[in-house]
Amino acid sequence: MQQQQQTGNQQIMPQPPQVLTVKDELYLKDMLSWNLLAAKKANFFAEQCQDPEIQQSLQHTCAMHERHYHKFQQLLDHHATSANQMN
Protein backbone atom coordinates (compact mmCIF):
# COMPACT_ATOMS: atom_id res chain seq x y z
CA MET A 1 0.00 0.00 0.00
CA GLN A 2 1.20 3.53 -0.71
CA GLN A 3 2.61 5.70 2.03
CA GLN A 4 0.63 8.92 2.50
CA GLN A 5 1.75 12.07 4.27
CA GLN A 6 -0.56 13.86 6.68
CA THR A 7 -0.94 17.63 6.43
CA GLY A 8 -3.55 18.88 8.86
CA ASN A 9 -6.76 17.15 7.82
CA GLN A 10 -5.53 16.47 4.27
CA GLN A 11 -3.61 13.47 3.02
CA ILE A 12 -1.01 14.03 0.29
CA MET A 13 0.04 11.15 -1.94
CA PRO A 14 3.70 11.29 -3.01
CA GLN A 15 2.82 9.54 -6.30
CA PRO A 16 -0.43 9.42 -8.28
CA PRO A 17 -2.25 6.09 -8.15
CA GLN A 18 -1.23 3.47 -10.74
CA VAL A 19 -4.83 2.92 -11.84
CA LEU A 20 -7.16 5.61 -13.12
CA THR A 21 -10.87 5.07 -12.90
CA VAL A 22 -13.15 6.06 -15.76
CA LYS A 23 -14.27 9.01 -13.62
CA ASP A 24 -10.62 10.08 -13.13
CA GLU A 25 -9.97 9.88 -16.86
CA LEU A 26 -13.07 11.93 -17.69
CA TYR A 27 -12.08 14.55 -15.12
CA LEU A 28 -8.57 14.79 -16.62
CA LYS A 29 -10.11 15.24 -20.07
CA ASP A 30 -12.26 18.04 -18.68
CA MET A 31 -9.13 19.61 -17.19
CA LEU A 32 -7.50 19.42 -20.63
CA SER A 33 -10.41 21.32 -22.15
CA TRP A 34 -10.50 23.92 -19.39
CA ASN A 35 -6.78 24.63 -19.60
CA LEU A 36 -6.83 24.80 -23.39
CA LEU A 37 -9.70 27.28 -23.29
CA ALA A 38 -7.99 29.38 -20.58
CA ALA A 39 -4.73 29.44 -22.59
CA LYS A 40 -6.57 30.50 -25.75
CA LYS A 41 -8.42 33.28 -23.92
CA ALA A 42 -5.28 34.57 -22.20
CA ASN A 43 -3.43 34.56 -25.54
CA PHE A 44 -6.29 36.38 -27.29
CA PHE A 45 -6.47 39.09 -24.64
CA ALA A 46 -2.67 39.45 -24.54
CA GLU A 47 -2.74 40.14 -28.29
CA GLN A 48 -5.48 42.76 -27.82
CA CYS A 49 -3.89 44.43 -24.80
CA GLN A 50 -2.23 47.85 -25.07
CA ASP A 51 -0.58 47.88 -21.62
CA PRO A 52 2.77 46.00 -21.74
CA GLU A 53 2.61 45.00 -18.07
CA ILE A 54 -0.84 43.47 -18.40
CA GLN A 55 0.14 41.90 -21.71
CA GLN A 56 3.13 40.22 -20.07
CA SER A 57 0.94 38.96 -17.22
CA LEU A 58 -1.52 37.48 -19.71
CA GLN A 59 1.33 35.84 -21.64
CA HIS A 60 2.57 34.24 -18.41
CA THR A 61 -0.98 33.07 -17.69
CA CYS A 62 -1.20 31.55 -21.16
CA ALA A 63 2.13 29.75 -20.69
CA MET A 64 1.01 28.41 -17.29
CA HIS A 65 -2.19 26.95 -18.76
CA GLU A 66 -0.22 25.46 -21.65
CA ARG A 67 2.12 23.74 -19.17
CA HIS A 68 -0.87 22.38 -17.25
CA TYR A 69 -2.46 21.20 -20.51
CA HIS A 70 0.70 19.31 -21.48
CA LYS A 71 1.03 17.79 -18.00
CA PHE A 72 -2.54 16.47 -18.10
CA GLN A 73 -1.95 15.19 -21.64
CA GLN A 74 1.16 13.32 -20.44
CA LEU A 75 -0.84 11.74 -17.61
CA LEU A 76 -3.53 10.58 -20.02
CA ASP A 77 -0.95 9.31 -22.53
CA HIS A 78 0.89 7.42 -19.78
CA HIS A 79 -2.39 5.92 -18.61
CA ALA A 80 -3.32 4.85 -22.17
CA THR A 81 0.13 3.32 -22.69
CA SER A 82 -0.05 1.47 -19.37
CA ALA A 83 -3.55 0.22 -20.13
CA ASN A 84 -2.47 -1.06 -23.55
CA GLN A 85 0.50 -2.92 -22.04
CA MET A 86 -1.81 -4.69 -19.57
CA ASN A 87 -4.00 -6.02 -22.41
Give residue-wise pLDDT tens across range 53-75: 999 999 999 999 999 999 999 98
| Domain-embedded: residue 57 | yes
Record the pTM: 0.74
Domain limits for position 53: 20-86
Give the pLDDT confidence of 11-41 residue by residue, as tens digits.
Answer: 887 876 777 888 988 999 999 999 999 999 9
Contact 10, 21 (CB under 8 A): no
- Domain tally, the chain: 1
In a domain, 1, yes or no: no
DSSP structure string for 14-66 = SS--S---HHHHHHHHHHHHHHHHHHHHHHHHHHH---HHHHHHHHHHHHHHH
